[in-house]
Amino acid sequence: MEWVLLVRYGEIHLKGLNRPYFERALVDNIRRALGSLGGKITRGTGRMIVTGIGESDLSAACDRLSRVFGIHSISPAVAADKAWDNVVRHAAELMNKLVVDGQEHSFKVFARRSDKTYFINSEGIGRELGHEMLERFPSLHVDLHKPEIKLCVEIRDRAYIYCTEIPGSKGMPTGTAGRAALLLSGGIDSPVAGYMMAKRGLSLIAVHFYSYPYTSERARDKVVELTRLVSCYAGEIRLFLVPFTDIQMTIYEKCPPKETTILMRRLMMKIAERIAASEGAMALITGESLGQVASQTLESLVVTDNAVSMPVFRPLIGFDKEDITAMARNIGTFETSILPYEDCCTVFVPKHPVTKPVLSDLIASEASTDFSGMMDKAIADTELMVIG
Ligand code: ATP
Ligand code: MG
């Protein structure tokens, strides 16, 4: 039996004249995700077909493709010559793998004929193939509403026969919407925020601020691992590790304690914006959610936004912590995010942070110290890692 992967895509369908652009990007992302598993990708209408993957690698390939944005679903299918006897034989072989001796199974045939010259129509294929299966497997019965086994047959250039459909990650192919810089902490929220924006087609760079020796080597490793986990969906991510200790200590020593967090957030945004611009990124992404902490009140977000001119995307703005946590579990970042290594924000957190910061006060505090030289130095000392 020759196995192939049928890859269906979702929203790309809605694209008009730009569709080939999105399809090409998806092909590239699929190829990258399959990597050493190889395979040849052919574009068909509304789907792609991957051939040349060995049977033993099929489930690994499906697993990888289930994380590629732009894919609606994936089916490992048997590809065969569409002569009727051949279709029946392959369907029976596939069915044979699914029926368990001594057990009753319900099934339904789902047939689709794209090749309109084929000698019977979809309805006929369903009926005839159903009969053939019932004759061969006495433990089967037909259930048109809730079948346990869905035997699917598509007649195209060849016949494709399959019984499983694995959900994809949906969204748009990463890279088709441009590039943005994710401010990545070691927490639960920012990896999810990066995932959500990559799902809308953005390619990501990540910027992380660390305050060695107040934050440890292990806290840094954790961020590298989180970047790797996000890159399983978002593709390659250039991770910028920015030394933030000097700036943080200066804020701590020279500025009003209640303003330290919000000042830190503004300076992080400014540095991230400069790194973003140098990388061709056009927006910033954070994991903020309205009202979650003092620095995420509406007033604080306004003051933070004022520090930069790039748009700031906050995909989690309307989500509860519980929902964000569920998403983090789903995409596989949660367990790493909760490793108990300190983040630079938590080390220097003030007792009574301002919840309604006044922009002019913050600008005055910022101007009272020469941060610009320190920001230049932080950027000059930034380390780059390419991940994924
Ligand atoms: P997270 O779970 O993402 O850490 P949080 O709820 O802890 O978020 P904050 O600590 O206020 O919230 O941070 C808000 C956002 O600021 C983060 O989601 C992230 O985008 C950014 N951020 C915070 N700390 C850092 C850091 N050390 N490096 C880079 N970005 C950071
Ligand atoms: Mg945090």
Tell me the CA–centroid distance for residue 208 and ligand 1, in Å. Answer: 9
Report which protein residue has its CA nearest ligand 1's atom 20: 286
Q: Which ligand is nearest to the CA of 268?
A: 1
CA angle 29, 232, 63 (to 5 degrees): 80
Report which protein residue has its CA nearest ligand 1's atom 1: 187
Task: Give the per-residue pLDDT at 215.
Answer: 84
Tell me the CA–centroid distance for residue 382 and ligand 1, in Å. Answer: 18
Contact 75, 166 (CB under 8 A): yes
> Which ligand 1 atom sits closest to the C-alpha of 286?
20
Task: Give the per-residue pLDDT at 45.
Answer: 77
Which SS3 state, helix, strand or coil, does residue 10 take? Answer: coil
**Residue ranges per domain, the chain?**
2-167, 179-387
Tell me the CA–centroid distance for residue 341 and ligand 2, in Å. Answer: 11
Question: How long a stretch of residues is the chain?
Answer: 388
Q: Which CATH superfamily is domain 179-387 in?
A: HUPs (3.40.50.620)
Residues with CB under 6 A from ligand 1: 183-185, 187-190, 207-209, 268, 286-288, 292-293, 295, 343-345
> Which ligand 1 atom sits closest to the C-alpha of 192?
3
Q: Which two tokens stand for residue 301?
A: 């977000």
Task: Give the per-residue pLDDT at 345.
Answer: 60
Domain 2-167: assigned CATH number: 3.30.2130.30
Tell me the CA–centroid distance for residue 280 and ligand 2, in Å. Answer: 26
Q: pTM value?
A: 0.91
Tell me the CA–centroid distance for residue 190 and ligand 2, in Å. Answer: 8
Distance CA 65, CA 5 (A): 10
Contact 376, 216 (CB under 8 A): no
Report which protein residue has its CA nearest ligand 1's atom 16: 286
Kindly give the confidence (pLDDT) of every residue in the chain, 388 residues in length, as a single tens digit, with 9 standing for 90 and above: 899 999 999 888 778 888 889 999 999 999 999 999 999 999 887 889 999 999 999 999 999 999 999 999 999 999 999 999 999 999 999 999 999 988 999 999 999 999 999 999 999 999 999 999 999 999 999 999 999 999 999 999 999 999 999 999 999 999 999 999 999 999 999 999 999 999 999 999 999 999 988 888 899 999 999 999 999 999 999 999 999 999 999 999 999 999 999 999 999 999 999 999 999 999 999 999 998 888 889 999 999 999 999 999 999 999 999 999 999 999 999 999 999 877 666 666 777 888 898 899 999 999 989 999 999 999 999 999 999 9
Q: In what order do the strands lie in the sheet with 179-183?
A: 312-313, 284-285, 179-183, 203-210, 237-243, 383-387
